[in-house]
Amino acid sequence: MITGLGLVTPLGLGVESNWQALLAGRSAISRITRFDPERFPTRIAGEIKNFDVQQFIDRKEARKMDLFVQYAIVAAELAVQDSGIDTALLQGERTGVYVGSGIGGIGSIEETHRVLLEKGPDRVSPFFIIQTIINEAPGHISIRYRASGPNLANATACSTGAHAIGEAFRMIKLGVADRMIAGGAEAPITPLSLAGFCNMKALSERNDEPEKASRPFDARRDGFVMSEGAGIVLLEELESALKRGARIYAEVLGYGLNSDAYHVTAPSPDGDGAARVMRMALQDGGVNPEEVQYINAHGTSTQYNDKTETLAIKKVFGEGAKKVGVSSTKSMTGHLLGAAGGLETAITALAIFHQVMPPTINYEFPDPECDLDYVPNTARPAEIIHALTNSFGFGGTNACLLLKKFE
């Protein structure tokens, strides 16, 4: 059961600010302010503005952490607060933490390398290693709550957050834990990271209209928009959640993971891996395709991803594909890379809880190869009993989660 949501995104902090922005179809994309992007072909991103870490973490301690770790801790705290759980219940080996990141502490790596070159090795911070390694995110969270159960940091590119939640779901299903704090965090908006993605030709260059740059499934899409933040959920075993009278956003019912086994960046052109991973999640949850009303798509706004994801959905749902609402909330948030799956699982849970499909904004020019119902531009009230959320990553890694309305 998903009983707590922690969202740190360019749309805002917490459930309410994010959900209202999504319903309003508001874009969080703007010109980069963290450094001067003028020399880059892409000069836009989804930055988190006015992030005050001292509301959650002591300033002295925060200086020892990369920004992605800070985002993870704050998102975990927001999820715990949102759940209303007594933190005493989180202590001990029946609570675990699975939080990953696609890139990890790249900002600290860049800055420390500059210090090394300019000032010498003796000026490198003794905290450098623990600032940058990905497992410091779940490590700090487990220490914060004295959660001594299963602890894992995965790095599976843009599938990271969804994989973390899927594996956490398995820990509860296997009886290893009663509660899991799970999701992803990312802070990739740095010169080196931006240059790398630019030179891969992966990013939108719609610099003059940043709010329209992320346009999944639209015929004039020209790449994804990089964003930052964290999406973390609190999962609880049903009996534990009911015992404390928890609000249940949705039930995690099924999980699939696999590989395209095709290419290091491009998805399989026949959509095979994406189709198989959706079928795995459905089979794991014992649900037929015709019982699904909504899909929160990976929907990156790149030519290949959107086309192949559409093809994969058609393979799984057949003639019923056009009856399913399919939206990409990356049209508003941008792409949070390793945090995307965590955020989008939370958004899917909110869609089920409120019975509203969030929109795909910037959908203006239909693409003949992308011809499903993408909930264009306006949120839509709808009955949602079952929903899928897709996450696909470089290296061909795929994840899919099946969520259900709790009854």
Distances (CA, A) of 175 to 4, 95, 133, 234, 370: 20, 11, 29, 16, 42
Instruction: Give buried/exposed letters for 183-202 (b at 16+ CB in 10 A, else e).
Output: bbbbbbbbbebbeebbeeeb
- Which whole number is the average pLDDT over 293-317? 98
| Beta carbons within 8 Å of 49's beta carbon, 6+ residues apart | 10, 33
- 370 noted as active-site residue: no
Percentage of the residues of the chain whose pLDDT score is greater than 70: 100
Which superfamily, per CATH, for 2-243? Answer: Thiolase/Chalcone synthase (3.40.47.10)
Identity of residue 247: R
pTM for the model: 0.97
- Which whole number is the average pLDDT over 175-204? 97
Instruction: Give the range among 66-75, 260-269, 272-281 with minimum mean pLDDT.
Output: 260-269
Among candidate residues 158, 198, 370, 400, the one labeled active-site is: 158
Question: H/E element holding 134?
Answer: none
Count of beta carbons in the 10 Å neighbourhood of residue 55: 9
Where do you find CATH 3.40.47.10 in the chain? 2-243, 251-404
- Which whole number is the average pLDDT over 207-228? 98
Q: Identify how many contiguous H helices and E strands the chain contains and give both numbers.
A: 13, 15
Confidence band of 308 (pLDDT split at 50, 70, 90)? very high
Give the Cα separation of 337 and 180 in Å (integer). Answer: 22
Confidence band of 184 (pLDDT split at 50, 70, 90)? very high
Give the Cα separation of 128 and 139 in Å (integer). Answer: 16
- 251-404 CATH, one of 3.90.1150.10, 3.90.79.10, 3.40.50.720, 3.40.47.10: 3.40.47.10
